[in-house]
Amino acid sequence: DGGITQSPKYLFRKEGQNVTLSCEQNLNHDAMYWYRQDPGQGLRLIYYSQIVNDFQKGDIAEGYSVSREKKESFPLTVTSAQKNPTAFYLCASSIIEASEAFFGQGTRLTVV
């Protein structure tokens, strides 16, 4: 089945640690995105990539980093520079920018 897979579903981070969230898609989509969702709020764009080996900052990129070495994969690293990382992280992909987006099931990150 085609789809977009995020792992892990739950992640706990200690203060000062970097953690990496995985996002893999087998939809052959060019565009991939990372969003952050805080309780009761909408989604805010962290990073996006329109093509392999290229990515752009979104509205809240500070404290985050990404890579796009393969078309299928767009991992997000939450660095120690992100002071308030506890949130629900959603990865999405689309055939091209501005088209229908397909979302993964999300990773809930908690700082302990």
Rounded Cα distance between 40 and 12, Å, is: 21
Is 62 among the residues that bind other proteins (CB under 8 A)? no
Looking at residue 70, the DSSP 8-state letter turns out to be: B
Is 109 among the residues that bind other proteins (CB under 8 A)? no
Is 97 among the residues that bind other proteins (CB under 8 A)? yes
- Tell me which residue has tokens 């992100």: 82
Is 43 among the residues that bind other proteins (CB under 8 A)? yes
Beta bridge partners of 104: none
Compare residues 80 and 106 and give the one whose CB is closer to other proteins: 106
What number of chain residues touch other proteins (CB under 8 A)?
28
Beta bridge partners of 25: 4
For the chain, counts of helices (H) and of strands (E) = 0, 11
Is 42 among the residues that bind other proteins (CB under 8 A)? yes
Is 24 among the residues that bind other proteins (CB under 8 A)? no
Q: How far is the CB of 33 from other proteins (least distance, A)?
A: 7
